[in-house]
Amino acid sequence: MSYRKRTAALVSAAALAGSAVWMAAPVARAEVVDVNYQCKTPIGDKSAVSPIDIKSVERGNGYRITMSWQKGVSSSPVELGKGAMTPSATIALGGADSGTLSVTGPANDAAIPADTPIKISDLSGTYTPKKSGEVTFTAGVLTITALGTTTTCTPTNDPAPSLTLDVTATSGGGTSGSAQGGGSGGNDGSGADTGGGLPRTGPEDSALALGTLGGTVLLAGAAGTLWLTRRHRATRAGH
């Protein structure tokens, strides 16, 4: 085989290898879903619709799951001072896995005026796959504790999943809530790594890493081409 044909074959193989690595990226789909909450409050029933966003960041053998509310839900007839309100929620697992994931977050960092929709801080938890396959994450029950009272908000419109992940199970899998929310670091008491801030992106992180690996394969192919070219020139010079 001539050096030109050999060079072309190496470049083609490198390109195909890069494409194969890119296509191997794990499946992850996220979308903002409107959730119609019906809330049981100390002063009666209330309702509110809020777009819910659920994102993931891969951490070791599991995923850091963050749930965000884009609009406030429920309200209080009196002002809630700083730190007076603490939220928590559940996320329903579906597809290859089942059960619920508990997510928690910090108390309100500023006073909430009376009769104003309560803005929920980002809530986080750690998910470790128990089964391999495609797992869905859907908004579940929101619980708000404030001034010695509890408000429970339940989705009533059968919302679609906000996140879908293609996961691989590991031994000792399970789910656990986080002791910190809103991207805060810390340990959630489950032994999972929760340190560092949470980026707002999810599957793009894995895709970027895989794309970098594909680029490395392409560079390796280019290096082989350069070596063959130099060898060919040296051979011609010898003749």
pLDDT digits 0-9 by tens, 75-107: 888 999 999 999 999 999 999 999 999 999 999
Question: What single string gives the DSSP state of each residue in the chain?
Answer: --HHHHHHHHHHHHHHHHHHHHHTPPPEEE--EEEEEEEEETTEEEEEEEEEEEEEEEETTEEEEEEEESS-B---SS-B-TT-EEEEEEEEEEET--EEEEEE-PPPSS-B-TTSPBPPPPEEEEEE-SS-EEEEEEEEEEEEEETTEEEEEEE-S-PPPSEEEEE---TT-EEEE-S--TT---B-SSS-B--SPPPS-SHHHHHHHHHHHHHHHHHHHHHHHHHHHHHHHHHHHH-
Per-residue pLDDT, 171:
67
Which regions of 147-208 does DSSP assign to beta strands (E)?
149-155, 163-167, 174-177
User: What tens-digit pLDDT sequence spans the chain (239 residues)?
Assistant: 555 555 555 545 544 444 444 444 446 788 999 999 999 998 899 888 999 999 999 999 999 999 999 888 878 889 999 999 999 999 999 999 999 999 999 999 999 999 888 889 999 999 999 999 999 999 999 999 999 999 999 999 999 999 999 999 976 555 544 333 333 333 333 333 333 333 333 444 433 333 433 443 333 343 443 333 444 444 444 54
Query: pTM to 2 decimals?
Result: 0.63
pLDDT reported for residue 170:
79
The tokens for 82 are 């700083």
Task: Quote the pLDDT of residue 236.
Answer: 47
- Across the chain, mean pLDDT equals 73
Rounded CA-CA distance 136/210 in Å is: 23
Q: Are 57 and 202 in contact (CB under 8 A)?
A: yes
pLDDT of residue 223: 40
φ, ψ for residue 106 (rounded to 5)? -80, 165
pLDDT at 182: 33
d(CA 14, CA 6) in angstroms, rounded, equals 12
- Give the whole-angstrom CA distance, residue 74 versus residue 144: 9
How high is the pLDDT of residue 174?
53
